[in-house]
Amino acid sequence: MTRCWGAVIGATLLVVGCAPAVDPGADGSPSPTQGDSPTGSASDQPGAADPTRPAGWTWFQLAAMDPGGSEIVVGESGLEPEGAGWWSLLSMWTFDVRTNSWQERGASSLSAGESRPALGQFVAHEASGLILGLPVGLAPVFAYDAADDSWAQLSTTGGGGEAWPIAVYDPDGERLLAFEAHNSTVKAYDLDDDAWSVLGSADSSTASDARPNARMDQVDIAYDSAEGLLILVITRPGAMEEAAETWAFDPDSATWSRRADVPNTLELGYPAGWAMAFEPGDGRTWLFAETAMLAYDASADEWTVAERGSGWPTTTTLGDVEVDPVARLVDTMVVDPINNRLVVIGGLVRREGDPVGGFEFENSTVPTDDVWAYDPATNGWTLLLPASDNPPSIGPG
């Protein structure tokens, strides 16, 4: 059975994409599963240190794994033209986890200037094979077909508000789940209906309906497909001693439960710049922040801090600055299901000697365009692509 999705732009109906309910190989056999490396893959060999890559730190990067391929789809957002009062999607790239190389994609299907979409997040919709781009307020949703390198704007209903998009894919329901921090509600997006709807009641007046209070805090979510739960972590900015909270949301019953607090890995308050993802091969939700990798096992309600060891990178030089490659503020971490690992792209790396959790020096962070992978099975990091001005010999010490 083939399913197709359309978009209305003006008075024209465009077919965004079609995908079989089960994605077979060309000969009818199942597609590669997690852990299967494609023929000719050199996924552990660093890519060439050439300038063919995104421009680097413009404002922020959006990323999601292409559900139908071996590439991470990355979008760069920023202000265009310079000094403009709006921000938009500037360029599109893909990073191939088999060859560890970048390829620039076109953005010809995107409108220019002020009407170009201001997207805040990419989410892979595995059932359709599409990347969905979410703006502030969650609507309208934009759909990207990596095979055709084309975007289309949908006619989404049920959005609204000014909330920054914080959403993940729920493979059990073939839908997106979004957490709205301003009212502590969860919305679900159905691509067939092209509509958002609230799960459960937004009324939190009763003690039995306890729910997280995110206020203006750092919020990260992941969907634990092993337990069928949305996992939420709330970190209070500037809170030196206040614990980072863990919450679990059951989409079936639309109920929240408070879970074990996140361990504090620093002496100067909690880390900043969380990146969070559920790694199916490992069966745990992973948090990456500055010098720390932490794993959450929802079945046991238990956090584990990964110990730094011989598989972790050591201090290196970025330009003329000494940095710790793992001490970075990063918002771009994507699960690589082909190699069962987490891929970290770029970000801001801390200068060596600058205390993590605080800012001692002026310009204490340095932008970088390197790419790393963390393997939960070995507790080791692999350099997939060196920084453009950094020697390719750096890596685990």
Whether the bond between 140 and the residue before it is cis, its omega within 30 degrees of 0, is yes
| pLDDT under 70: residue ranges of the chain | 1-43, 56-60, 78-87, 107-116, 162, 201-209, 216, 237-241, 266-273, 354-363, 389-397
Please work out, in degrees rounded to the nearest 5, the angle formed at the alpha carbon of residue 129 by the alpha carbons of 127 and 93: 145
Token pair 């000494």 is found at: 322
Q: Collapse the DSSP code of 396 into the 3-class scheme (helix H, G, I; strand E, B; otherwise coil) and give the result.
A: strand
The model's pLDDT over 229-288, given as tens digits with 9 standing for 90+, comes to: 999 998 876 555 677 899 999 999 999 999 999 988 765 455 666 799 999 999 999 999
Domain ranges (residues) in the chain: 58-167
pLDDT at 56: 61
pLDDT at 60: 63
pLDDT score for 268: 45
pLDDT of residue 46: 80
What's the pLDDT at 183? 84
Strand order, beta sheet including 60-65: 60-65, 71-79, 87-96, 101-105
Concatenate the DSSP letters of all residues of 103-136 into one string: EEE--TTSPPGGGS--EEEEEEETTTTEEEEEET
Query: Which pTM does this prediction carry?
Result: 0.83
User: What is the spatial distance between Cα 172 and Cα 136, in angstroms, rounded to a whole number?
Assistant: 25
Q: How far apart are the first and last CA of the chain?
A: 50
DSSP string spanning 222-234?
Answer: EEETTTTEEEEEE
pLDDT, one tens digit per residue, over 243-253 is: 789 999 999 99
Q: Which residues, other chains included, contact 121 with Cβ-Cβ below 8 Å and sequence gap of 6+? A: 62, 133, 134, 165, 166, 167
What pLDDT does 114 receive? 57
Res 231: pLDDT: 98
Written as one string, the DSSP assignment of 17-34 is EEEESS-B-TTSSBPP-T
Output the pLDDT for position 40: 36
Q: What pLDDT, on the 0 to 100 scale, is given for residue 322? A: 84
